[in-house]
Chain A
Amino acid sequence: MSIDKVVAHSAPPPPSGPVPWDKDFALKRLADMLRIRRLEEKCAELYGTGKIRGFLHLYIGEEAVAAGALAALRPRDNVVATYREHGHALLRGLSMNSIMAEMFGKREGCAKGRGGSMHLFDAATRLYGGNAIVGGGLPLATGLALAARMQGEDRITACFFGDGAVAEGAFHESLNLAALWKLPVLFCCENNLYGMGTAIERAEAQTDLCAKAASYAMPALSCDGMDIVATHATTQEALALAKDGPVFVEYRTYRFRAHSMFDAELYRDKAEIEEWKTRGPLHTFSARLKAGGKLTEEEFLALDAATQREVEAAVAFAEAGTWEPVEEMLADVVSS
């Protein structure tokens, strides 16, 4: 093998063919992706006006991963996510209101405004964060799965992380531990080809991530992360396998926006971004639904309008929110 090997950055062929879902399920998944997209477009706008501060990492382009994977999970499963987790939180069941209020730093937010964009939590839907340390969620997910196993619960823990996390020790320690103890973890790798600005072939000696995972004696599946039909089917397949131990799933995807709002994107070609945009999960999926007679333009516009109203309502909710009183700041922590 050449040490100069280059990973193909070119996009896969656009997803095509009929969508093997009934209309109701298909339109729900379209709505899922559209809700993430419209929410985040608004977030980017509000970042520009200073309403949202701190770090903001957009998922735009990658929606088919969260939408397909989370639709396959059950309410009793656990979810551990990264700092690019608005979509996961939303589709897990957090209201757009509580997410937007959190990003505004308001106490009506899901974490009272203490966490912000990167730290969305929700006990009710078993969302264990929002983790801003790359790879930090993998040991947590392993432990959550251990707890489920020891308590005899039928519960799988889905842990999302990016390709950048694969270089962390936490990845290797967690995959080993989960496989050694045969814990029900779904290691969901959202491979968008870049860890911040470093392309995967500049970070990994072995760029075949499934080969890495398979070395820990677990099934490793890979799918087109731009195709929601594929992400859903592959996650379902992985879930069935995960009852007997961990499973690794690679979702090959692409982020259309910058890493964060501070990123000048000096590390990738415009042409590469444009090529991947033609595989955008929303319009390819919409086109397939239309071609199969499961979606009309009028239905799409109505759905989009409803989504935009939801976003506007969330902004109004966040605007009307209140600030946690400073005197309550020391609650929930072992202080001095």
Chain B
Amino acid sequence: MTRKLTYREAMRAAMHEALTNDPRVFLMGEDVGRYGGTYAFSKGFLDEFGPARIRDTPLSELGFVGAGVGAALGGMRPIVEVMTVNFSLLALDQIVNAAALLRHMSGGQFSVPLVIRMATGAGRQLAAQHSHSLEGWYAHIPGIKVLAPATIEDARGMLAPALADPDPVVIFEHCQLFNMEGDLPDECQVDIASAQVRRAGKDVAIITYGGCLPKVLAAAETLAAAGIEAEVLDLRVLRPLDTATLIATVTRCRRALIVDENWKSGGFAAEVMARIMELAFYELDAPVVRVCAEEVPIPYAQHLEAAALPQTDKIVAAVREMLG
């Protein structure tokens, strides 16, 4: 049995379940309460769970993310919603210098079981300050786990294992996915450890995550119509990275294209490429290729924004060029 729901409804259901099942769980962030969540993820929660557990915060990203770290140290299981990754830059000190370091630096005495959720990505004509895609920055940091749910099942299922994890977990929710609708199996068991093959193929591996997954799957359909079978790998978990599954897919297809919305220089795709070079160089029939965001502040005008981002036609073109 399955039922249809949106990414937004799936994430809301995941939080509802967590709040219902564990009194240590609470939600904190800007406009999560009375407003119902910037993206309506927590609509109705304030009435159901009360103001102690659904906490509207002032516009103090450093303060309330740090308070989330402290509350986790003190025995709670906070879900901190940072409205968007763009504003998380104001909280980086508490994420990088506190949350990520404390367990190791304290000799294993303290852990920070904190979940930080944030919307990410471009595509809604919100201009440069509201269109960042910085997963690669976060995935650079030992001590935190980085998730990028791109399916309804992952939106529904990744939160519970994230909350059960002793370490801080950052969840990137791409804003272009929120209204995506899909089937959710009644039994929803997902992990926060593995990469998943979303489409099997043999001619080329297209490796992606998050908001680019639907674009890649659409490109794979177009390619299939032309007789090219692409295998689509959804990384899902950017740290720790499931290198074994990545290398298995690359080895099967012997060609690899990486698609993500980071800027190309030093972005997450660069790390994926590096691992392929280290571990599967001799399995390759062609150089590894990237389709990433253009290296500009993401523009407002629709045609420029579209041109700056990975798109299905660019992915198709890149594959065709690889295959000669």
- Tell me the minimal C-beta distance from A87 to chain B in angstroms: 19
Tell me if A176 and B70 are in contact (CB < 8 A): no
Residues of A within 8 A of B172 (CB): none
CA distance A129 to B69 in the complex (A): 13
Taken together as a complex, chains A and B put the C-alpha atoms of A123 and B102 apart, in Å, by: 12
The closest CB in chain B to the CB of A336 belongs to: B240
A327 at interface by CB-CB < 8 Å: no
Do A331 and B167 form a contact, CB below 8 Å, given A146-B67, A147-B70, A177-B63? Answer: no
Q: Map CB proximity to A onto B284-308 as digits: 1 under 8 Å, 0 otherwise.
A: 0000000000000000000000000
Q: Which residues 150-202 of A sit at the B interface, judged by CB distance below 8 A?
A: 150-151, 169-170, 173-174, 176-177, 180-181
Q: Which residue of B lies closest to A131 (CB)?
A: B98
Contact B106 A111 (CB under 8 A): yes
Given A111-B107, A334-B143, A143 and B75 contact (CB-CB distance below 8 Å): no
A176:B63 contact, CB within 8 angstroms: yes
- Interface contacts beyond A143-B70, A332-B104: sample of 8 additional A-B pairs, CB < 8 Å, sorted by A: A136-B93, A140-B67, A140-B70, A140-B94, A143-B78, A147-B74, A151-B76, A334-B167
- Cα distance A174–B55 when bound, in Å? 15
Whether the pair A143, B105 counts as a contact (CB closer than 8 A) is no
Which B-chain residue is minimally distant from A118 (CB atoms)? B105
A103 within 8 A of B: no
In the bound complex, how far is the Cα of B241 from the Cα of A136, in angstroms?
Answer: 29
Cβ–Cβ < 8 Å partners of A123 in chain B:
106, 109-110
Q: Are B60 and A150 in contact, CB atoms less than 8 angstroms apart?
A: no
Partner of B105, one of A119, A136, A336: A119
User: For B65, B109, B145, which residue has the most chain A Cβ atoms within 10 angstroms?
Assistant: B109
A336 to B74, Cβ gap below 8 A? no
Instruction: Give the B-binding residues of A (Cβ under 8 A).
Output: 78, 109-115, 119, 121-123, 128-129, 131, 133, 136, 138-148, 150-151, 169-170, 173-174, 176-177, 180-181, 331-336
Chain A residues, CB < 8 A from B94 = 136, 139-140
Q: Which residues of A contact B26 (CB under 8 A)?
A: 150
Q: Which residue of B lies closest to A180 (CB)?
A: B58
Known: A136-B97, A332-B103, A336-B239. A111 touches B66 (CB 8 A): no
Q: Which residues of B contact A181 (CB under 8 A)?
A: 55
Distance in angstroms between the alpha carbons of A143 and B74 in the assembled complex: 8
Nearest B residue to A129 via CB reads B106
Minimum CB–CB distance from A141 to chain B (whole Å) comes to: 6
Q: Are A177 and B60 in contact (CB under 8 A)?
A: yes
B27 interface hit (Cβ, 8 Å): no
Provide the bound-state CA to CA distance between A111 and B57, in Å. 33
Within 8 Å of chain A (Cβ to Cβ): is B195?
no
| Bound-state Cα–Cα, A174 to B91, Å | 13
Contact: A173 with B62, CB < 8 Å? yes
B64 within 8 A of A: yes
The reply on B142 being an interface residue by CB < 8 A is: yes
In the complex, residue of chain B having the shortest beta-carbon distance to the beta carbon of A113: B107
Interface residues in B99-130 (C-beta closer than 8 Å to A): 102-110
**Chain B residue at smallest Cβ distance from A133:** B97
**Which residues from chain B contact A143 at a C-beta distance below 8 Å?**
66-74, 78
For B142, the closest partner residue in chain A by CB is A333
Give A323 to B16 CA distance when docked, in angstroms.
Answer: 47
Contact at A140–B69, with CB atoms within 8 Å?
Answer: yes
